[in-house]
Amino acid sequence: MFEKFTEKAIEVVKLAQIKAIEYNHEKIYPEHLMLAMLDDTNSIIYKTLTIYKIEINALKNSIRNILEKRAKIKPAEFVVFSESSREIFDKTLNVASTMGSAYVKPEHIFLAIWDNPKQELTSALREQDIDAEKLKIMFYNIFSSNKQKKIKHPEIVEKRRRNDRNDNLISILENSASSKIFDRAIAKLSTSNYEILGTEQIMQSILEDNESNAAKVLNDFGITVESFTEKLNEISSRKAEFGDKQIIFTPNALNALMQALDIVREEGNASVLPEHIILGILKAKKGIAYNILKELNINSGLLEEKLIQPIEKEKNETLYIMRIAKQEARRIGNNIVGSELILLGIVIEANSIAAEVLRDLGVIVRDARDVIEKLTGISEEYGSGEITFSQRAKLILEDAWNIAKSKNKTKTTADDLLLAICNQPDSIAMKALTMLGVDVLEIRQGIKNRLGE
C-alpha cells in the first residue's frame, strides 16, 4: 500500500498511529492523519493554512472533538486502518499523479482527505466557516505550483550536429549482415513500380531469408512472408510512408533505419543486423510495415524481447555501461542520460581499459558521483519514466561507433566511449573530469599505453 509513499508521507502515517493509540482507538481514522499533518509547523500544509488566515488550533480542537466521540478501548496497543483511511490511501496515488508526481507526499494525503465532502471530518471545517470544496481547489492550485520541477538536463537543449545521413546509410548498406536485405528490397522496386524504398520492401526482404534468426523470430509470431505480403497486397496507397518530400528511402523507412542505428550504438555493436532494423521499425511506430504488424495483432513488447535476446547474449562493455548509466539516471530522479552518466558508467564498470586509465588518474566512483551531482543536480524522487539520451550523449555514442569501425572492431568498447567523450570538450562529462583534475591528453596517452599503440 505504501510502496510509493515518500519518507515524509510514511512519517505522517506513523504519527497518526501514535495518535490513535493515545486516544485508545482501535483504528486509525482520517482525523488522526489530519492531526499528524497539522502538528508539523514546518510543513507546506501548516504554512499555507496560516497564510490563508485559517485558525489551525481551532481546527485541531474541532477534530479532537470528533475523535473523542469515537469508540475507545483500554489500553490500545495495536491499531488497524479504518475503511475510510484505506479509501484515502487508495486515492493518494491518483491525487499525486494528477499533480504530476509519481510518489505520494503529505500534501497528497491532505488533499485526498478533503476529497470526500461527505465524511464527518468536514464538520470540523463547517465549525470554522470554511468551505471544504473551495479549500480543496485552493490547495490543489497551491501544491501544484509548489511541486518540485523535474531536473532539466543541460545537454538536452543542445542542437545535435547534423551529420550527413547518407554516410550513416552507406554504413548500413555496406554491412555484410544487411547488404543482402537491401539488394532484395531494391529488386522489389521494379516489380512494384516504385522508385523509393519503403519499410514494406525491407520487411519483406527480411522475411524471405528463412534461415536468418530475425525471420525465425517473426515466424514464431505468425509473421510469414506470405501473411505479410497478403496484407501488403490489400494496401493500394503508400500514404503512410511519406512526409513532405520523397528521397531514395521514404521518410518513415529512413526514420526506422536511424532508430536502428541508435539501438546498435547503445548496445555497442558495430554491425547493423536484420533484428536491429525490425526493432527500428517497431521503435519508429510509423509506416506500412509497422501498420501491418499492428493489424496482425503482434505483441510488440514480446517481439522486441525475442529479437534482442540473441544480440544481448554477446555481452559487451558498452551495453553494460549504458545500463549502469540508465540506473544512475533513475537514481538521481532524471530520465535523461547525458555525457556525464556515460562517464560514470565507465568508472562504475571498473574492469575496462578506460576504467583502469581513469583509476590510474585518481578518478573513483564516490568522487565522480559527487562532482556529477553538483553539475546536474539531484531529485528526491526515483525516476520512473522512459530513459532517453541527451543530444551530446548521442554524439558520443555515434563518435565511439565510428572510432570502433575505423579500427575494424566488431564492437564498441569503453575506451572508444572515453575517447569520444574527450572529443566533446564542452560536454558535462569533460567539465566533471576537469573538476576531478584529469586532462584529456593524460586520458588519450593512458589509453594508448594500455592498448600498446
Q: Which pLDDT does position 327 carry in this prediction? A: 87
Binning pLDDT at 50, 70 and 90, where does residue 348 land? very high
Q: What is the mean pLDDT of residues 279-300?
A: 88
Tens digits of residue pLDDT in 65-88: 888 887 777 665 567 888 888 888
When mean pLDDT is compared across 49-58, 223-232, 239-248, 288-297, the lowest value belongs to 239-248
Span(s) in the chain for CATH 1.10.1780.10: 7-146, 165-313, 317-451
Report, as an integer, the average pLDDT of 103-132: 73
Q: Residue 58's pLDDT is what?
A: 86
Architecture of the 165-313 domain: Orthogonal Bundle (1.10)
Give the confidence band of 267 by pLDDT, cuts at 50, 70, 90. confident
Q: Which residue, 306, 308, 283, is CA-closest to 222?
A: 306
The stretch 264-283 carries a mean pLDDT of 83
pLDDT-based confidence at residue 17 (cuts at 50, 70, 90): confident
Query: Where is pLDDT greater, at 62 or 382?
Result: 62
**Model confidence over 85-100: pLDDT tens digits?**
888 888 888 888 777 7
Q: Looking at residue 415, what is its pLDDT?
A: 92
Residue with cell 501514535: 18
> What whole-number distance in Å separates Cα of residue 8 and Cα of residue 31?
18
The predicted structure's pLDDT at residue 387? 83
Sign of CA dihedral 15, 17, 21, 25: positive
Class for domain 317-451, per CATH?
Answer: mainly alpha
Q: Are 206 and 277 in contact (CB under 8 A)?
A: yes
What is the model's pLDDT at position 18?
A: 87
pLDDT for the residue 105: 87
Say what the pLDDT of residue 354 is.
92
Which long-range contacts (C-beta less than 8 Å, at least 24 apart) are formed by 359-366?
A: 360/446, 361/437, 361/438, 361/442, 361/443, 361/446, 362/436, 362/437, 362/438, 363/433, 363/436, 363/438
| Least-confidence region, from 159-168, 204-213, 421-430 | 159-168
Sign of CA dihedral 250, 251, 253, 257: positive
What would the 3-class secondary structure string for 373-416 be? HHHHCCCCCCCCCCCEECHHHHHHHHHHHHHHHHCCCCECCHHH
Q: Please tell me the total number of residues recorded for the chain in this structure.
A: 453
Q: What is the pLDDT of residues 311-341, one digit of tens each?
A: 666 667 888 898 899 988 888 888 889 999 9
Domain 7-146 is in which class?
Answer: mainly alpha
Average pLDDT, the chain: 80
